[in-house]
Amino acid sequence: MKNNILGLHHITAIANDAQQNLDFYTKVLGLRLVKKTVNFDDPGTYHFYFGNETGTPGTILTFFPWEGIRQGRNGTGMATHIGYALPHGALDFWKERLKKKDILYEEYSVFGEKLISFRDPDGLQLQFIEGHTSDNREAWTTEDINKDVGLKGFHNVTLTLRRTEATSNVLTGILGYELQKQEDNRFRFATSAIDTANLVDLVEDPSTPQGYNAAGTNHHIAFRVKDDNVLMEYRERILSAGFIVTPKIDRDYFFSLYFREPGGVLFELATDNPGFDIDEPLAELGSNLKLPKQYENKRLDIEKVLPKLS
């Protein structure tokens, strides 16, 4: 298939307190709130999108902050670690910054790449990585996080599975990834269609209990395609492989479809079009509560239910 998967599009996770989530990702990690909307299936819950200036695919981490939800558990059958790419030489800055914020971290390397691993306030596992290759993506900057240390976007995502063979077959046979390297029970897959946000690691760990989705865990990962024509080509390919897959869904800022891979992780394919500036100017991204069309006539009721943000 000439229309390739273009790496990761976005990753979606679950949080508890909306204000805490917003403050951590914008004030501590220095990401931009690109879009403030609501969950399509639960409009009483926010859907936050954090990324770079424009919300470029491959930089977007999104959250459903369900107030009062119980704590989740990382484990097999889910995406367990989100890896962000750092500029070379930025690791020391982030170690010092996390120390000042009283955030504990571990420091080690994976496939020879130096990283620090830590958890957000809900327990979501994040990794900041100095990769082997150059990354020309422009980071969103703040007063105390400049372009020399700002987060570039995703480097990789790690799926922890009881067995990896069936999932690896999906990555290689359907999505066009190739096995790049192996280190003990970790397998790294890459797509050559793009140079960034192009890595998926599979960790085989049959001794780890199955995870369950709640606060501090990943809900799904989304792979990037050029447009909805390519999306539908992949839908046919997924169906032909025997998987149950959703119809094309309009998510306002992209079109998507979903299927669950054999290891248990929910996969989404999402398009570049139409983008996050379709309903507000670039300078105002994330400033206004944007509602899906079907909920606009209920705006006053929804705003009364949503937690107040400062």
**pTM for this entry:** 0.97
Over residues 4-19, mean pLDDT = 98
How far apart (Å, rounded) are the C-alpha atoms in residues 283 and 141? Answer: 14
φ, ψ dihedrals at 306, nearest 5°: -65, 145
| Structure-model confidence comparison of residues 3 and 10, the more confident one | 10
Q: What is the mean pLDDT of residues 95-124?
A: 98
Q: Is residue 2 part of a domain?
A: no
Evaluate if residue 156 carries a pLDDT over 60: yes
Nearest to 52 by CA among 275, 206, 268, 295: 275
Domain annotation covers residue 252 = yes
The verdict on residue 157 lying in a domain is yes
Domain annotation covers residue 310: no
Each residue of 168-184: pLDDT tens digit? 999 999 999 999 999 99
Which pLDDT band holds residue 281 (cuts at 50, 70, 90)? Answer: very high
Write down the pLDDT at residue 2. Answer: 63
| Residue 3 placed within a domain | no
What pLDDT score does 1 carry? 43
Count of domains in the chain? 1
**Residue 1 placed within a domain:** no
What is the percentage of the chain residues whose pLDDT exceeds 90?
Answer: 98
CATH number for the domain that contains residue 195: 3.10.180.10
**Per-residue pLDDT at 19 exceeds 50:** yes
Task: Please answer whether residues 52 and 286 qualify as being in contact, where contact means their C-beta atoms are separated by less than 8 angstroms.
Answer: no
115 with 130: CB under 8 angstroms? yes
Which residue range is the domain that position 81 belongs to? Answer: 8-305
Q: Does residue 80 contact residue 211 with C-beta atoms inside 8 Å?
A: yes
